[in-house]
Amino acid sequence: MGVLMRRVLIGAGIAGLMVVGAATAAPAMGATPLTYRVTIENRTQADLTPVVYAVHDRTARMWRNGRRASFGMTRLAEDGVPDIVRNEVARRRGVRSAGVANRIAAGRSISFTVRTTTRHRRLSWASMLVCTNDGFTGQSSYALPLKRNGRTRFSVRVNARAYDGGSEVNDERSSSVPCLGAHGVGRDERRVIRRHPGISGRGDLTVTSHGWGQNAARVTIRRIR
């Protein structure tokens, strides 16, 4: 964990209500406005850092399983830093808007509203698992449904797994894991994003206290417009 992470944790800890912001473009001609309420429940035993999200078309990506993480994604996955990846993704072609929502305490939920159109109907988000080296949870290019059982007001529930950002070795040591008060930066690994193998207990973390089940988060997406 670097200095930035401590700032993020301290800021989130004091306020607990980081300002939620998203830059949004005007609707394109012929595109129908859509609004969704996204609720993310933290299913792990530790904090999830402020959630970075984007709505975009099918050509754009924030992160992708099997690919190298962008610089911003590595900073999010290692240290919970939200702004770099938010700014990165906001500039990408095919992205309608990108924003940052609150952190999520263990066992708790947060909600945020996403306004988009039928032209940009994919949702991506990511949030670091603080008791990991570079673990995060999220969804990549999830297709927001328009209808369910013929209804346009509905909600769907999906699970989000944990991923390894591929940039820091999972040594699970207190010197590199933020929830243990890390003050240093862990050893680099040069790998792609992949499913997180889970806590092994090889370092200072324990499976009992810091592990999680099959999913790190549960997401409820409700269409409200």
What is the nearest approach in angstroms of Ca ion to the Cβ of residue 188? 10
What is the nearest approach in angstroms of Ca ion to the Cβ of residue 8? 19
What is the nearest approach in angstroms of Ca ion to the Cβ of residue 109? 27
Nearer to Ca ion, 95 or 128 (CB): 128
Nearer to Ca ion, 57 or 204 (CB): 204
Half-sphere exposure of 74 (CA within 13 A, CB side): 18
Q: Which amino acid, residue 56?
A: H
Name the residues that contact Ca ion, by CB under 5 A. 134, 164, 170
d(CA 53, CA 41) in angstroms, rounded, equals: 15
Nearer to Ca ion, 99 or 186 (CB): 186
Q: How far are the Cα atoms of 54, 70, 115 from residue 47, in angstroms, in the given order?
A: 21, 23, 26
d(CA 213, CA 215) in angstroms, rounded, equals: 5
Nearer to Ca ion, 102 or 140 (CB): 140
Nearer to Ca ion, 137 or 170 (CB): 170
SS3 34: strand
Q: How far are the Cα atoms of 21, 94, 157, 223 from residue 145, in angstroms, in the given order?
A: 24, 18, 11, 8
What is the nearest approach in angstroms of Ca ion to the Cβ of residue 193? 10
Pairing of strands 162-164, 217-223: unpaired
Nearer to Ca ion, 41 or 79 (CB): 79
d(CA 43, CA 191) in angstroms, rounded, equals: 26
What is the nearest approach in angstroms of Ca ion to the Cβ of residue 189? 6
Contact predicate 222/36, CB 8 Å: yes
What is the nearest approach in angstroms of Ca ion to the Cβ of residue 86? 22
